[in-house]
Amino acid sequence: MNCLTRILTIPSIILLLLQSGEAWALQPHGGGEGLYVHQMAHFFFMITLTYLYLHTRRTQDPASRGWRYLRVFCVLFFFWNLMAIIGHETALHLPSDHFINAGTWRERLAPPLSTLKVVYFFSKMDHFLMVPALLALFFSLRSFYREAREDAAQ
Amino acid sequence: MNGLPLAPTNVVDLVGSGLVIFFSFMSLVYANFLVRLQPRNFIWGFLFYFCIAITAFSISRGIGHILRIFLVLGGEEELWQLISPWSGGFNTLFMISVSSAIIYYHKGLEAYKAVRSEAEKLAEANRKLAETADELQKVNTYLEDMVEERTRELSKSEKKFRHFFENSKDMVYFCDINGNITDINQSGLKMLGVDKPSKQLNLLSFFKNDGDLDRYLLGLGENGFVSDFETEMESRDGSIRNILLSANAIFDKEGFIVGCEGIAKDMTRLRTMTDQLIRQEKMASVGQMAAGVAHEINTPLGVILGYTQLMMDDFDKDSEVYENLGIIERQTKACRKIVADLLKFSRQTGSAKVEVDLNELIEEVLTVSEHNLNISHIRVVRRFGPGLPPIIGDAEKLRQVFINLLNNSHHAMADGGEISLTTAHDQASGEIIASVQDTGSGIAEEIKSKIFDPFFTTKEVGQGTGLGLSVTYGIIRDHGGSITVESPVQDQETGQRRQGTAFHVRLPVAVEQKALNEEK
């Protein structure tokens, strides 16, 4: 394969992949499929986080700060995934007429307020779980590094 | 009621997305530090890839949320609708990536633990190997030190015993089963009359008496040792040495004798001195007895001789009685001479001691005796030391000493030979040494100790009274000197031992004699 052929072939493949106008698979895939896959990914993520939590609690040193922080991360991220799933589901059940001044800073959920709207509102605050989760991950990694450095020094 | 404002959610979303990106990135940085610190640690490796996926997810999601806020609120709703599926797709993809990384954590950890376990076993084995090697090294070092110490001690001990072996004045020897000497010190070689060690040197061949040899071998064979074993050995130069010997048999593992080791002391000098002392004591007692007997016999002999001579005056000289009386007179005189000799031996006769030049005295004796000696084909050799100091003595008695010695030599050389007369001054002892040495038949070892005994003679009956050397001994002793006999003799020119006899007379010089007399 010479240089000119490469130059022509690689961009062609990229352009074909980026072409989303038509599905080239044998089975057609609609827009709702993406949401399902995303929700399943969240669910899959929760399962793996549960596994990681249980496994590390069973196998790793319970006195280690790094593993404790990592388990905190697992718990927080688990609930963040749960919140995200709920958020995505509630968003499906809120049509556009439930929003006032959509697309502006003055956007509001139209009255009357329902449980669904309140849940939707709080699910939009998922960073209150996600940021502490990643902070716990950061502390975990930092603790691991400090412990490892002390071990290496010894 | 105006409904629930969503602006706070947008603010939280905006700030939270930024913080999520920041913390995920910082986690990735520390994960990277961990991997760099311990590259072979699987868990750090897992966390690194986990953080990559989390960071990718955080960036994808955070940028998506931030873009959504800015695009939608900025009136670019359509653009956001175009980007939104890509953002959601990437979010889904990275979430699955994070989940996949977690799923493989279990298997990876097991594999890592297995490898780690093997590595730890290997490390443990290496550690034990190192410890063992260290122990071995210590043991080796200890052994080396111990060997060095033992070698040093052994060398010291060997040096000590070698010094003892080399410098011992007694003979120290080692023999094989056949008596061949395998090692012997210089004193031993000197004792055996051997110049240097030889492989053919056999200790058993030096035993003079077969009986002693049998007893020696029997003692070693039956008891494994001999202790204070007295024997005589004949050295290579022919001299006989009295030896006091102690030896141990050397056994092999099966208990068979393979050789022996021993120490032998030369007792010859001690034996000689002891013999001399015994002889002197014997001579003294014999002299006392002889003096007593002589005195008792001398008187009746005088009476017999007197009456015989009176009776001879009463008879005619041609008569038979006169002849018989003449025989009685001669025999009586012979008896009186014997008595006189006995008295000389026992120092019972008076003497007039004056300064005497021994060379002149011997020359006077030779003037009388040399003619007879020459008739018997005996050559006389004079080796007189010049300028000899005088001695104090009875010249007449001293003449008799040398006459006796010359007569003995004369009788020992019936077929002719040579007599050497030697005089010398030994300044160390303050004595004049006069030696009469002949080339005659010599004196047997067995009778050496008896030759000075009164009436001991090897001559036929009637040819000698056996008093010559006894008288000589008595005279010399009376002069404070000594007389010794040497046979076989050492040739003065060649140094070799040869047949013959030598009498060595030692007399104190005048000054020493005067001092001796003053002391007395």
Q: HEC states along B273-339?
A: HHHHHHHHHHHHHHHHHHHHHHHHHHHHHHHHHHHHHHHHHHCCCCCHHHHHHHHHHHHHHHHHHHH
Tell me: domain B171-266, CATH 3.30.450.20, correct? yes
Question: B387 versus A2: which is more confidently predicted?
Answer: B387
Domain spans, chain B? 7-139, 171-266, 272-345, 354-519
Strands B391-393 and B225-234: what pairing?
A: unpaired
Q: Quick one: which H or E segment has residue B265?
A: strand B257-266
Given a cut of 90, whether residue A113 has pLDDT beyond it is no
- Among the partner-chain residues A49, A106, A117, the one whose CB lies closest to the CB of B4 is A117
On chain B, the residues whose CB falls within 8 A of the CB of A44 are 95-96, 99
CB B362 within 8 A of CB B306: no
Helices (H), B169-267: 186-192, 210-223
> What are the residues whose beta carbons fall under 8 Å from the beta carbon of A110, sequence distance 6 or more?
A97, A98, A99, A100, B3
pLDDT in tens, B27-38: 999 999 999 998
Does a cis peptide bond (omega within 30 degrees of 0) precede residue B390?
Answer: no
Task: Output the DSSP codes for B497-520.
Answer: EES-EEEEEEEEBHHHHHHHHHH-
At B52 the pLDDT is 93
Nearest to B235 by CA among B258, B264, B203: B203
Question: Could you report the predicted ipTM of this complex, rounded to two decimals?
Answer: 0.80
- Tell me how crowded residue B361 is: count the other CB atoms within 10 A of its CB: 20
At A23 the pLDDT is 46
pLDDT in tens, B183-217: 888 888 888 888 877 778 888 888 988 898 899 98
Task: Name the percent of chain B in helix, strand, coil, to the closest 5.
Answer: 60, 20, 20
Q: Is B412 exposed, middle or buried (0-12, 13-18, 19+ CB in 10 A)?
A: buried
Query: What is the nearest CA distance from A130 to chain B, expressed in angstroms?
Result: 7
Domains B272-345 and B354-519 share a fold: no
- Tell me how crowded residue A6 is: count the other CB atoms within 10 A of its CB: 10
At B513 the pLDDT is 56
Confidence of residue A105 (pLDDT cuts 50, 70, 90): confident
SS3 B353: coil
- Among the partner-chain residues A42, A105, A108, the one whose CB lies closest to the CB of B3 is A108
Q: Quick one: which H or E segment has residue B16?
A: helix B7-37
Residues of A (74-103) whose Cβ lies below 8 Å from B: 99-100, 103
Buried b (16+ CB within 10 A) or exposed e, B86-117: ebbebbbbbbbbbbebbeebeebbeebeeeee
At B346 the pLDDT is 66
Q: How far apart are CA A142 and CA B27, in angstroms?
A: 7
Nearest to B176 by CA among B195, B194, B197, B203: B203
Domain spans, chain A? 56-154
> Is the Cα torsion angle B123, B124, B127, B132 positive or negative in sign?
negative
At B63 the pLDDT is 92
Distances (CA, A) of A6 to A12, A15, A17, B138: 10, 14, 17, 68
Strands B378-383 and B417-426: what pairing?
A: parallel
At B28 the pLDDT is 94
CB A18 within 8 A of CB A24: no
Phi and psi based region of residue B431 (left: phi greater than 0; alpha: psi -120 to 50; beta: remaining): beta
SS3 B56: helix
Q: Is B385 exposed, middle or buried (0-12, 13-18, 19+ CB in 10 A)?
A: middle
Task: Flag if B34 and A105 touch (Cβ within 8 Å).
Answer: no
- Tell me how crowded residue B177 is: count the other CB atoms within 10 A of its CB: 13
CB B72 within 8 A of CB B7: no
> What are the residues whose beta carbons fall under 8 Å from the beta carbon of B423, sequence distance 6 or more?
B358, B359, B362, B383, B384, B385, B388, B432, B433, B434, B435
Tell me: domain B272-345, CATH 1.10.150, correct? no
DSSP B449: G
pLDDT < 50 regions, chain B? 1
CB B393 within 8 A of CB B434: no
Q: How far apart are CA B187 and CA B261, in angstroms?
A: 15
- Among the partner-chain residues B38, B77, B88, the one whose CB lies closest to the CB of A34 is B88
Phi and psi based region of residue B428 (left: phi greater than 0; alpha: psi -120 to 50; beta: remaining): alpha
Residues of B (108-137) whose Cβ lies below 8 Å from A: 109
Report chain A's mean pLDDT, rounded to a whole number: 84
- Tell me how crowded residue B283 is: count the other CB atoms within 10 A of its CB: 20
Given a cut of 70, whether residue A17 has pLDDT beyond it is no
Confidence of residue A25 (pLDDT cuts 50, 70, 90): very low
Task: Name the percent of chain A in helix, strand, coil, to the closest 5.
Answer: 70, 5, 25
Question: A147 versus B510: which is more confidently predicted?
Answer: A147
Task: Flag if A127 and B24 touch (Cβ within 8 Å).
Answer: no
CB A85 within 8 A of CB A39: yes
Task: Flag if B96 and A41 touch (Cβ within 8 Å).
Answer: yes
Nearest to A98 by CA among A90, A110, A87, A108: A110
Strands across the sheet containing B431-438:
B378-383, B417-426, B431-438, B501-508, B482-486
A111 part of contact set with chain B, CB < 8 Å: yes
**Pairs of residues, one from chain A and one from chain B, whose beta carbons lie less than 8 Å apart:** 142
Nearest to A65 by CA among A153, A2, A152, A150: A150
Distances (CA, A) of B514 to B253, B360, B518: 70, 21, 6
- Domain B354-519: assigned CATH number: 3.30.565.10
Distances (CA, A) of B377 to B290, B372, B373, B380, B419: 37, 9, 7, 10, 11
- Tell me how crowded residue B256 is: count the other CB atoms within 10 A of its CB: 10
Q: Report percent pLDDT > 90 for chain A.
A: 37
Task: Flag if B20 and A45 touch (Cβ within 8 Å).
Answer: no
Distances (CA, A) of A145 to A55, A153, B416, B518: 21, 12, 126, 118
At B163 the pLDDT is 87
**In degrees rounded to 5, what are phi and psi of residue B344?**
-65, -45
CB B454 within 8 A of CB B472: no
At A18 the pLDDT is 63
A141 part of contact set with chain B, CB < 8 Å: yes
SS3 B354: strand
Count CA atoms within 13 Å of residue B44 on its CB side.
21
